[in-house]
Amino acid sequence: MKSLFPTLWGNDPRDPFKSLREEIDQVFDSFGKGLPASLKAFAGPKFPAVDVAETAEALEVTAELPGVDEKDVDLTVTSDALTIRGEKKSEHEETDKNVHLVERSYGSFSRTVPLPFAADPKAVEATFRNGVLKIHVPKPAEAKKPVEKIAIKTA
């Protein structure tokens, strides 16, 4: 692939940005490989990471929120979606140290989980422990109906 970042030096071996350009090109080349085109827009990590499981009685959502205080999390439920919002705050200390690498992220986040049924916000329960938020969304009576198996006839 032709470089996304052409250089003023052309193919000069003294080009100080050559290896950086090659690495960036590799990242763009490999992004989304193996994904159907319809899913490429959703590629990449989401925060917070969530697990969604369904039982006969409820939808169980578990969200990982490491480093986030319970008081900094906001949970809202509408009839068709559950939204987790919050902020991971940075702890700034004034010291004379030289920081070489920062990989932890801070700031506001929001994650919405669509609900397959109309939920009653007053019946939703949430617990927060050790950076893990667990949300229990009970199904309404009409969503608890058993699935009927349909017999397939031979033609």
Judge if 50 and 75 occupy the same domain: yes
The answer to whether the Cα torsion of 60, 63, 69, 71 is positive or negative is negative
78-94 residue pLDDT tens: 878 999 999 887 766 66
Contacts by 75-80 with C-beta closer than 8 Å and gap 24+? 75/124, 75/126, 75/133, 75/135, 76/121, 77/115, 77/119, 77/121, 77/124, 77/137, 78/119, 78/121, 79/115, 79/118, 79/119, 80/114, 80/115, 80/118, 80/119
Judge if 28 and 71 occupy the same domain: no
Structural domain of residue 5, as residue ranges?
Answer: 1-34
Judge if 55 and 125 occupy the same domain: yes
Output the pLDDT for position 60: 95
Question: Which residues in the chain land under pLDDT 70?
Answer: 1-14, 28-46, 91-96, 102-103, 143-147
Domain annotation covers residue 52:
yes
What DSSP state is assigned to residue 42?
G
Domain annotation covers residue 126:
yes
Output the pLDDT for position 7: 47
- And the tokens for 21? 């350009």
Beta strand residue intervals within the chain, DSSP E: 50-54, 58-64, 73-77, 81-88, 107-114, 125-129, 132-138
Judge if 5 and 79 occupy the same domain: no
Q: What is this structure's pTM?
A: 0.60
Domains: count for the chain: 2
21-34 residue pLDDT tens: 777 777 766 665 55
- And the tokens for 58? 């409820």
Judge if 13 and 52 occupy the same domain: no
